[in-house]
Amino acid sequence: MATQTAKPSAPTCFQDILIRLQAYWGAKGCAVLQPYDMEVGAGTFHPATTLRSLGSRPWAAAYAQPSRRPTDGRYGENPNRLQHYYQYQVLIKPSPPNLQALYLGSLEAIGIDMDLHDIRFVEDDWESPTLGAWGLGWEVWCDGMEVSQFTYFQQVGGHDCTPVSGELTYGLERLAMYVLGVDHVMDMPFNPPESPIPLSYGDVFRQTEQEYSRWNFDQANTEVLLRQFEDAERAVADILAQPAQDPKTGKHIVMAHPAYDQTIKASHLFNLLDARGVISVTERQAYIGRVRALAKMCADAFVQTEAGGGLAE
C-alpha cells in the first residue's frame, strides 16, 4: 500500500470508534447528522436515508442511529446480542465512483491495519420488505467477520432510485468489539479506560437491556400496542389526505415527514408485537404488507416535495 500517512493509532474504547467515524465521514464531506428522535429497527429508517434516497437531489449524510430489535433482547447476558444497539450509517447520492475506497479508508481510520487483515466483499443483496426497498451489494468481511453492509439502493418505497444512493451500515458494537479485542459486549470500555470515571458498555446499558428484555418479551400491553399500531396506520392516511396547499399560509406543504414518523411508529409497534409472540406466521406477512403500504404512501408524498425533487424550480 502506498499510503504515505502514518497508520492511525489503535482506538481504546467504543466512543473513540464512533468519534473517528464521525470525523472521517465529516472530512469526506458528509453532513454529520444526529440520531433520529424515534424508535427505529435500523439506521435505514432514519428519514435521512429512506426519504433522502428518493428524488434527484444530491445528498450526503452520516450518523449513528440507536436501533431497537425487541426480539434480540437477551437480558444483557449474551456476549453480542442486544435489543438496543448502534448502527453507523452513511448515505451518499449519487454513489461516488470511489465509494469502496472511501469505505476502506474508514476502516483504516478506526484502527484496522490494512496490511494485516483480509477484507472481502461478499455478495449480499439487501431487501427491506417493510420499506418496499431493495439494493445490490455486499457484506464486508474482515478476517471472516461481517463488519458492514454495503448497498447500492435500487428501489425505495416502490420508487426506482435515480440517481442511485450508496449506503454503508456498520454494526458499531460488533465492529468495536472486534477492533478492541473484547469478547463480551458488556465488558467493552465505553469511554477511555483512563478517564476519571471509566465506564464500560455494561455500566451504560446492562440495566436497560434487562428492563427492556422483560418489557419487550413479557410485559408490553399487546392490546395497547395493537391499538397504537392501528392509530399510527390511520394517521398516515389522514396526514397525507390533506390538500398540498396549506389553507393558513397558502404555501405548498406536503406533510411527508410527519406521515413518515407515523410509519416508523407502526413499524416499531409491529416489532414489539412480534417480540410478544402474538403475531402468527400468516399474520406476520399481512402486517409487513401494511407497513410497506404506509412506506409507499410516504415515498409517494416525499417525491412531490422540494427535497424530493418534485417541485421543479
Partner 1 sequence: MPDLLIELFSEEIPARMQARAADDLKKLITNGLVEAGLTYASAGAFATPRRLCLTIDGLTAESPTTREERKGPRADAPEQALAGFLRATGLQRGQLEERTDKKGNTVLFAVIERPGRPAAEIIAEVLEHTIRTFPWPKSMRWGAGTLRWVRPLHRILCVLSSEGGAEVVPLEVEGIAASNLTEGHRFLAPAEIEVSGFEDYVTKLKRAKVILDPAERADTIWHDAQQQAFAAGLELVEDKGLLAEVAGLVEWPVVLMGEIGADFLHLPAEVLQTSMKEHQKFFSVRDPKTGGIVRFVTVANRETADHGATILAGNQKVLSARLADARFFWDNDLRVAKDQKMEPWLAALENVTFHNKLGSQKDLIDRIAGLAGTLAPTVGADAEMAGQAARVAKADLASEMVYEFPELQGIMGKYYAQAAGLPAEVANAVEEHYAPLGPSDAVPTAPVSVAVSLAEKIDKLAGFWAINEKPTGSKDPFALRRAALGVIRIVLENDLRLGLNAAVAAAGDQIGPRDQGDGVQGHAETADVVTFIHERLKVFLRNDGVRHDVIDACLALPGNDDLWLVVARARALGAVLATEDGENLVQGFKRANNILAQAEKADGVAYEYGPDRKYAEDAAEVALFDALDNADAAILAALEGEDFATAMGAMAALRTPIDAFFEAVQVNADNEIVRRNRLNLLHRIRETCLKAADLSKVEG
State which of residues 118, 194, 223, 313 lies at the interface with partner 1 (CB under 8 A).
118
CA distance 287 to 189: 39
Only segment of 114-122, 201-209, 242-250, 305-313 that touches partner 1 (CB under 8 A): 114-122
Residue 75 binding partner 1, by CB under 8 A: no
Enter the DSSP assignment of 228.
H
First to last CA, the chain: 47
Which candidate, 264, 196, 299, places its Cα nearest to that of 36? Answer: 264
For residue 222, CA distances in Å to 43, 73, 278, 280 come to: 26, 18, 8, 14
The three-state secondary structure class of 217 is helix
Residue 26 binding partner 1, by CB under 8 A: no
Find out whether 229 and 269 touch, Cβ atoms under 8 Å: yes
Rounded to a whole number of angstroms, the minimum distance from the CB of residue 283 to partner 1 is: 12
For residue 82, CA distances in Å to 51, 71, 154, 244, 313 come to: 27, 9, 30, 42, 46
Which residues, 160 to 189, sit near partner 1 by CB under 8 A?
Answer: 161-164, 166, 178
CA distance 233 to 286: 13
Joined grid coordinates for residue 87: 448502527
Which residues, 282 to 301, sit near partner 1 by CB under 8 A?
Answer: 282
Residue 144 binding partner 1, by CB under 8 A: yes
Rounded to a whole number of angstroms, the minimum distance from the CB of residue 155 to partner 1 is: 10
Rounded to a whole number of angstroms, the minimum distance from the CB of residue 257 to partner 1 is: 25
Which residues are bridge partners to 87 per DSSP?
65, 171
Rounded to a whole number of angstroms, the minimum distance from the CB of residue 173 to partner 1 is: 13
Residue 152 binding partner 1, by CB under 8 A: yes
Q: How many of the other CB atoms lie within 10 Å of CB of 125?
A: 13
Residue with Cβ nearer partner 1 (99 or 266) = 99
Only segment of 96-104, 204-212, 229-237, 262-270 that touches partner 1 (CB under 8 A): 96-104
Residue 71 binding partner 1, by CB under 8 A: no
Size of the site for partner 1 (CB under 8 A): 39
Residues contributing to the site for partner 1 (CB under 8 A):
1-2, 79-80, 94-97, 100, 113-123, 125, 135-138, 142-145, 152, 154, 161-164, 166, 178, 281-282
